A and B are shown apart, each in its own frame.
Chain A
Amino acid sequence: MRLLIRFPILCFAMVLLSIVGICVAMESVGFLLFAGTAAAMSWYLTEGPRGRHLPRWVSNLLIILASLYVFIELVQSGEAMNILGRFIVWLTLIKLYERKAPRDYAQLLILSLSLMVVGSLLSMNLLFGLILLGYSLLGIYVLVLFQLYRDFEQAKESRRDVVPENASLVPRVKPIIGPRLGLHFRSVIGSIALAGFFVSIIIFLSVPRGIGGGFASAWAERIAQSAGRIETGVSDSVDLAATSSTDVHRVVMTVRVLDRNGRAVRLPDPLLLRGHVLDVVEPSGRWISSTGRPHDRIETSGDRMIPINRAVDTDAVDDAYTFEFTLATAKNRLFTPWAPLAVSTERSERFRLDPWALTLTAATSRSLRSKSYRVQTVLDPPSELLQEIQQGQFTRWRREGRFPIDEEIRQLAISLLREAGIPTTPPDLEPADGQQPSRRAQAEHRLQWNRDVASVFEAYLKSDRFHYASDLRDVLMSADQSDAASAVRQFLFESRRGDCNFFAAALAALCHNMGAQARLVTGYLGYEFDEERQHYLIRQSNAHAWVEVRSGIFEWATFDPTPAVTPGHLASIESATLADRLRWLYDRLEFSWQSDVLAFDRSAQESIGASLQGRMAGALSEILIWTRTWARYFNQALSFAPAAYIYLAAIMILAVLWLYFIVWAIRRIQFLRGALALPDILSRRSRRMLRQLSFYLDALQALDRAGCPKPSWTPPLQFSHELARHNPTAAETLREISDLFYQGRYGLKELQPQEIENGRTLVQRLREQLHRN
């Protein structure tokens, strides 16, 4: 009875958990506070001492109002899943305040399941995953309990309907239970949960992925976008008029840096992992990657390191580091530090290498299959090595992709350079020893000027005149988008606030205005080091943009003008606290959750399949080898000829048949004991009965096969009377069998062999008569 009493509160807990789950998925603390409080109050109001409920008409009215509100919100905003989630929460709250019959409880359960489904679509958080797991376990318990509760209520209602109103003294419906109900219920629920978990895992692993992904793809993409499942932050373009920073702290990859000896090390400077190189400014002011340059193709296969350029002897490079990347989800490009020498991937992949930007992109538009890869790199590569890597391809800076000359920006740049004492135009190299400097020397001298100029501008942007800000809605709303330079101009002269995109774009714009070659790079900034696992944690919020300025014919110097982002974080992790360790633990779990569960795809399925196939084949071959070895050993030990294998096979077959016979005999004895209702089988009398009265069991089986089984509560003689109505001859035979059976079983008579034989003959006759009928 306590189980049934417990149902309403457990159902309420389950609904509350689903509300918490959807709020976690929507990452809305305010809504959680409101909905959670309203739900908690509903318990006190409806189930409390006064037990007040919302009238049906009021709840119907509220549902209509909620629907209208949702419709209006849906028209105004595009976040369909969030709105749907909120709407279901509204419905759930209204239901919680109503009077609850079994039907209402069923509706509440369906609503809470809907909340978790919407939450699944919205969230990739580990926390939501944990809530989902807890909800599933609690859900199984509550759902099973609901069946008992509903049928109990139905039984009560059925009893009420049967009995007239004025009747009294009718027995009450009570839950009829046997001993140890709690233990049995818990064990059944545990078994169901365990079986459900395993079956769901098998289904999860075996449902084919990648099939039908295009079905309703636009809708699905919108959902994924609104749910935050498409990673934002690192983009293949930078548009200041529509920039948005992400504050999602989900770990997207981990990077372990190995030195020459294979030891994990922590580098003194933050990692800058390059993703996209944006060197062209569109008339609208958007930075994009240049196209049209020739690309090289690279194919990786397994763990073997493939050099970017085959001409480079990677083994000969002394101070090379190996970066091991593990991604939460596979991407369509590799993030690498400057400058990559060789690469290997978990699975065979094909890449396009841009020699000028040194970026590796998937050869097709689809994502790569590998979620882990390694990159060998030199952190401060010499010019010769770079020349070898880039195959000596020098690319001229094309005028049409530069940032437009803006007078205000140019004046600012000139004033800054003058303040720093740097010439505003690239100085010519003076002739030495009466000889004109070579063209290469001239170029390198000019590129050195580039570096100086960029340094000045970087220092200016890092000064306290500018502030880093991630919330730029006011800046974007007041932005003047009249020309390509307007956003940079506004940043430099008016707002002086912005995220890394603004700072990087401003530095590149200043450089371009002074004629210094610079390009924007987007990627990740890695500075958070997990000391326990000895790897860097790269979060989605670590998406970053910086500038590379040409500092040699094949060299590019990195400038990061964004102020006060990295040093603070670096300082904070100098000494890891307990909170840091806990955070890292959570991050590790969440990373595993995302990379192993949420990012489980067809390639992972294939690898599991191949692994299982290999293991099964291995186990089978091991068994075969073992059998062969054992047979040979046996044969040699007994000095048998090869024909002995035939004897062995025959013995094995006999052993199997013998085993089968033993099982059959035990089962027959069990049936016979049940049919004879013997209290034990050890006494002499019982053994005699089992031996002598087996014909009775044969008779019962014959009746069963003929489709007229004898009910266990009907004595055989009485059953023969019933059988007489349909088959009088068989009934007569059964009567004779029953007489014999009664003599042996209840008359305790020791049957003579002739009588036993007679019993068997009668059973045979009974079979024929039943068959004939």
Chain B
Amino acid sequence: MKRQYHSYLPGLIYVVVTILILAAAISTQHNLLFWVFGVLVAGIIISGLMTLLMMRLLEVNRMDPKNGSVDEPLVVRYSATNHSRFLPVFNLTIEEVPVKGKEGGTHGGWSQRVSRWLHGTRHGEKSTGQTASPDNGWQHTMAHSTAWIMHIGPGQCIHGEAVFWPRRRGEVHFSALRVSTSFPFGLLRKSITIRHDQRTLIYPKLYQLRPGILDAVKPTGPMGERAAHRPGEGEDFYGLREFRTGDSVRQIAWKQMARFDQRTDQLISIDRTLPSPPKLRVILNLYRVADLLSEGDSSETKEEKVNRVERAIDLTASFIYAAHLRGFEVGLSIAGMDIPSLPPRRSFWHLARLLGALARINLAQHGQANGKTVSQRPANLPSMREKAGVVVIHPARVDASLTPPGTPGSSRSEGWHLSAEMIDQFVTGPIHFGGDGLAPTAAILAASESAEEVAA
């Protein structure tokens, strides 16, 4: 925990005015000016003392941030507790700061320092923004605002919130937060920097698929919707059983009862089978990504190449999300990466796991690690014995040779190959959930775990 006083332009102006008034008072020997000087000096003393006392017994924590999504507001909450018995705290600003030294230079040149000092911003970044670039952390992936708490009474605990705006998916690392106040007169700003490491995931951007796309890739026949060999709410006949209270009249097997002994007064119900949702396996082809990023079309910049891969990841996430909403069991395989395939399941928790796996794809590391293995076949594709429909998404051109092992015949007959270059043909537009409290996102966020737990 680091405590600091910061001075900036309003404080300097105040001090200069105070000195001028002292000079005028000495020169004119006018007592009202001496008194005004006394009031101004009292302002400085009280300002320093108040900020010191207010921050002394203040405890601020970042509450576990939920996972966010690209181009969706990510609300990070803080809990601030004032342990003082008598003194309230006012005008508290909380902001995330990178830890100096570890996560990149944040001080900039002299001109930036002077500008920062004049405008009263702290530690490198304007409060609005995205700064240049430490290698890790949230600065290069998210624009951020500050949390502002107007008042915390003695012994009270208050929650404040800051909104971040993720621009890229990935894993972000919050390392420290800075709590500051300039109360009461804004002459001095006292801050406390608290080290608090936490990680969270930013999911890929989700798009709304065009109507019919999911129906087209939906598995049919033996691969499609079918009945499981368990009793349930389906339509196929499963068996007969004794009538139980609560059974519908329609379930009563009148014909079967008629065949049995007329004298029995026991009703018989029909059990139906449990419908099994269709299974869909989405395969993201990152098999030749290293080649694509290092060579590829020379007319493209590196950023454009990366964006193309990102579009493929976004499309994959969109397929997963749409299939989940339609009631499919969805599985995910990432070809070319050392990530185990996730089997088709259907739950919010599973959805969060799939999106989390996509969020954690690190293209930079992938390019370096797989630079020498571009020609090898990916080993993590599942076999086709799981009887799921297959959608293979490629960042660039379709590589039809990439099919799950055990697939008979041509790949097209058993799976759909889509290129992210034609993403506009598959989607209508991005899905906006809203910042907080809307059902789909809330459900995903509620089901999701922190990055450490997922990794474990």
Contact = CB atoms under 8 A, between A and B. Distances in A.
A170 B163 contact: yes
Interface string B120-155: 000000011100000000000001111111111110
A226 to B, nearest CB: 12
Contact of A178 (B22, B91, B156, B185): B156
Given A169-B438, A178-B156, A121 B24 contact: yes
B38 A177 contact: no
Given A162-B144, A178-B152, A219-B27, A192 B10 contact: no
A200 B27 contact: no
7 contacts: A121-B30, A143-B185, A147-B186, A155-B145, A188-B87, A196-B42, A204-B38
B73 interface: yes
B36 A117 contact: yes
A171 B161 contact: yes
A167 B145 CA distance: 15
Nearest to B10: A106
Interface string A203-240: 11001011111011101100110000100000000000
Given A178-B152, A223-B28, A159 B145 contact: yes
B145 A192 contact: no
Contacts of B37: 203, 207
Given A158-B127, A169-B438, A204 B35 contact: yes
A169 B435 contact: yes
Interface of B: 1, 10, 17, 21-39, 41-43, 45-46, 50, 59, 61, 71, 73, 75, 87-88, 90-91, 93, 127-129, 143-154, 156, 158-161, 163-165, 182-186, 194-196, 432-436, 438
Q: Which 4 A-B pairs have the closest CB atoms?
A: A169-B434, A200-B38, A203-B38, A161-B128
Contacts of A213: 26-27, 29
Given A143-B185, A171-B435, A215 B26 contact: yes
B151 A181 contact: yes
A688 B167 CA distance: 54
B446 to A, nearest CB: 18
Given A171-B73, A200-B38, A161 B31 contact: no
A711 B129 CA distance: 28
Nearest to A116: B36
Given A151-B148, A215-B27, A195 B42 contact: yes
Given A170-B435, A185-B151, A158 B30 contact: no
A760 interface: no
A711 B24 contact: no
Contacts of B145: 155, 158-159, 161-162
Contacts of B41: 199-200, 203
Contacts of B435: 169-171
B10 A117 contact: no
B431 to A, nearest CB: 12
Contact of B148 (A176, A204, A212, A229): A176
Contact of A711 (B27, B28, B196): B196
Contacts of B148: 151-152, 154-155, 173, 175-176
Most chain A CB inside 10 Å of its own CB: which residue of B37, B39, B153, B158? B39
Interface in A147-202: 147-148, 150-152, 154-155, 157-159, 161-164, 167-171, 173, 175-181, 184-185, 188, 192, 195-197, 199-202
A113 B152 CA distance: 31
Contacts of A223: 28
A106 B120 CA distance: 15
Contacts of B146: 154-155, 158
Nearest to A133: B35
B31 A597 contact: yes
Given A151-B91, A204-B34, A217-B27, 10 more contacts: A121-B28, A144-B184, A151-B148, A158-B146, A162-B128, A170-B434, A199-B41, A204-B31, A224-B30, A713-B61
Nearest to B23: A215
Contact of A200 (B39, B90, B128, B184): B39
Nearest to A180: B153
Contacts of B160: 176
Contacts of B28: 121, 220, 223-224
Contacts of B129: 161-162
A215 B183 CA distance: 37
Interface string A1-36: 000100000000000000000000000000000000
A175 B30 contact: no
Contact of B156 (A129, A144, A179, A711): A179
A319 B61 CA distance: 86
A197 B45 CA distance: 12
A196 B30 contact: no
Contact of B158 (A171, A178, A195, A215): A178
A192 B73 contact: no
A202 B42 CA distance: 10
Contacts of B87: 188
A132 B39 CA distance: 11
Given A154-B127, A181-B151, A188 B88 contact: yes
B311 to A, nearest CB: 19
A758 interface: no
B159 A129 contact: no
Given A121-B33, A158-B128, A223-B28, A163 B90 contact: no
A600 B23 CA distance: 18
A216 B30 CA distance: 14
Contacts of A4: 150
A84 interface: no
Interface in A106-156: 106, 113, 116-117, 120-121, 129, 132, 136, 143-144, 146-148, 150-152, 154-155
A159 B432 CA distance: 18
Nearest to B143: A162
A170 B88 CA distance: 30
